[in-house]
């Protein structure tokens, strides 16, 4: 019987804003004058190099960034260094925009909950099922939950950069189960990455995968999780 649920953050409960919106917000704040065509072209380059945290991973990595990328979620410093280095590969109109883009993605306004995030978390709370968020990340995502009014629905938040280990390491999932005071075989892991999130299966957790899609293209994937608990 499932008594607790672990959720991934990015691509599962929340999704980062579209790349052009991300870039537009930063360019506007910095006072740069970019036409829509130029902005679209720069946004496409950022996507091509995988520079947006929460977006598609880089299809190719410069050899100098391979090690940093592999360990990016183990510390705040490495996370920033990896993503700002990728952003600089996108021929930005101004070099300082790389850090501004990174700062923007850490703001709650840059993240959007999936349509059924709040309703699913509320239903789990109503049923007495504990919830943990387990994320490979390099910054504190708790303000995102607070800003969107769902922080009170999460019992524990286990972040790789705070724990010093990252999914799929079973140690991170075990720490989450311990925080929920539950045995792994009583816990369901919900995520979008079969490798990272699938690591929970090594402990005996059940695993359910959802598609990492834009918020307007994934309406009820989390609601479907509730049927697994019936």
Strand partners, 209: 191
Q: Tokens at residue 7, please?
A: 């959720």
- Residue 227 three-state SS: helix
Of the candidates 88, 191, 184, the residue with the CA atom closest to the CA atom of residue 136: 191
Predicted local distance difference test score (pLDDT) of residue 31: 80
Instruction: For residue 220, count other CB atoms closer than 10 A to its CB.
Output: 12
Contact 136, 196 (CB under 8 A): yes
Report the distance separating Cα 187 and Cα 195, nearest Å. 18
Mean pLDDT for each consecutive 10-residue tract of the chain (230 residues)?
96 96 92 87 95 91 94 98 97 93 97 98 97 98 98 98 98 98 98 97 97 94 90
What is the DSSP secondary structure assignment for residue 155, as one 8-state letter? S
Map out the domains of the chain as residue ranges. Answer: 4-15+111-228, 17-109
Termini Cα distance of the chain: 9
- Residue 154 three-state SS: coil
pTM for this prediction: 0.95
Report the distance separating Cα 193 and Cα 22, nearest Å. 23
Report the distance separating Cα 212 and Cα 210, nearest Å. 7
Predicted local distance difference test score (pLDDT) of residue 135: 98
Report the distance separating Cα 61 and Cα 50, nearest Å. 9
Predicted local distance difference test score (pLDDT) of residue 140: 98
Question: What CATH code would you report for 4-15+111-228?
Answer: 3.40.50.1000
Predicted local distance difference test score (pLDDT) of residue 229: 87
Report the distance separating Cα 146 and Cα 138, nearest Å. 18
């Amino acid at each position: 019987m499932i008594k607790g649920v672990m959720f991934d953050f990015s691509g599962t409960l929340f999704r980062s804003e579209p790349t052009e919106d991300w870039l537009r917000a930063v360019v506007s704040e910095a006072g740069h004058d970019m036409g829509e065509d130029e902005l679209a072209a720069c946004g496409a380059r950022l996507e091509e190099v995988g520079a947006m945290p929460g977006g598609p991973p880089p299809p190719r990595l410069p050899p100098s960034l391979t090690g940093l990328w592999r360990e990016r979620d183990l510390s705040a410093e490495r996370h920033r260094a990896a993503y700002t280095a990728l952003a600089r590969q996108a021929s930005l109109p101004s070099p300082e925009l790389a850090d501004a883009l990174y700062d923007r993605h850490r703001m709650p306004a840059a993240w959007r909950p999936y349509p059924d995030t709040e309703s699913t978390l509320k239903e789990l709370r109503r049923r007495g099922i504990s919830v943990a968020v387990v994320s490979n990340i390099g910054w504190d995502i708790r303000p995102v939950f607070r800003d969107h009014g769902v922080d009170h629905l999460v019992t524990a938040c286990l972040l790789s950069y705070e724990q010093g280990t990252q999914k799929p390491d079973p140690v991170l999932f075990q720490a989450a189960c311990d925080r929920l005071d539950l045995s792994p075989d009583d816990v369901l892991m919900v995520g979008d990455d079969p490798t990272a999130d699938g690591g929970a299966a090594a402990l005996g957790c059940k695993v359910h995968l959802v598609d990492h899609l834009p918020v307007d293209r994934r309406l009820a994937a989390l609601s479907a999780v509730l049927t697994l608990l019936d």
